[in-house]
Amino acid sequence: MRAGFGRGHRVNGRFVLAQISDTHVRADDAGAAAAQLSRALAQAREYHADAILLTGDLANDERREEYQAIAEIIANPPAPLFLMPGNHDDRMSLRVAFPRHTYLPLEGALSYAIEQFPVRVVCLDQIVPGQTYGEFTQDAARWLDHTLRKVRRKPTIVALHHPPFATHDLLFDKIGLHHGERFASVIKRHKQVQRIICGHHHRVVIGQVAHAPVIVAPSTSWVYGLAAHQGQQIAPKTAEEPGWMLHVWTKNGGFASHFMGL
């Protein structure tokens, strides 16, 4: 199946989105991260996902062989599959490694909208090359506002890599999204935005921006613990289960989001 195209939703009025994040595929882990991505895709097939979205940090070190490994794994996805960059990714490397993903803009930010499902998914690239934090710039605000204004009556998910709210983690709030208040001011104007989804934290976090609930997906590779107070270990790897998120929308029931362990 060609990435970004295919069968569409199976049942009118129902949409199932598999969100896979922070895969961190690397060349020096004996294929462990790649295997976790493969498991997540197999589970997405089991749950009849209509679409699959990878919300950033696809590779660990922006290396060509890492992107090649990802390209092989996602060559025949169980549903139309879409990619977004995270702070561990390089925009040009993504364009080169995934030429079949023609929805990716040829220049500038890798922001785009997925239109062919009963739920619209607006994917926002807010990474800063060479930095671990993200930034919601004035240009990004104009793009997002313009994109959301185009379709006001369709339920919408906004996806980005960095969580757009304070999570109270001593490290990840420092390397989170700068100008989150600007992001909130855009979302506030668009009531059709019913969910915001992101990654970056390697753990499940639930928040809210304006009227919209925010779901932070875990990593498929490893989970970070929470450091909320001085003296607690910063970003410890924990024994919590890695996983991904399954977002199910129905016309009458709205959204339900599930953590899916690996």
CATH number of the domain that residue 61 is part of: 3.60.21.10
Residue 93, classed as helix, strand or coil, is: helix
Structural domain of 212:
14-261
List C-alpha distances in Å: 226 to 52, 172, 192, 204.
27, 9, 32, 11
Residue 236 lies in a domain: yes
% of the chain with per-residue pLDDT over 70: 95
Q: How confident is the model at residue 5 (pLDDT cuts 50, 70, 90)?
A: very low
**Is the separation of the CB atoms in 50 and 117 below 8 Å?**
yes
Residue 7 lies in a domain: no
Tens-place pLDDT, residues 64-105: 999 999 999 999 999 999 999 999 999 999 999 999 999 999
Looking at residue 12, its pLDDT comes to 60
β-pair partners for 25: 59
Average pLDDT, the chain: 94
> Structurally, how many domains does the chain consist of?
1
Res. 4: pLDDT tops 60: no
The CA distance from 199 to 217, in Å, is: 5
CA atoms within 13 A on the CB side of 139: 8
Q: pTM score, two decimals?
A: 0.94
Res. 3: pLDDT tops 60: no
The CA distance from 46 to 108, in Å, is: 36
Residue 70 lies in a domain: yes
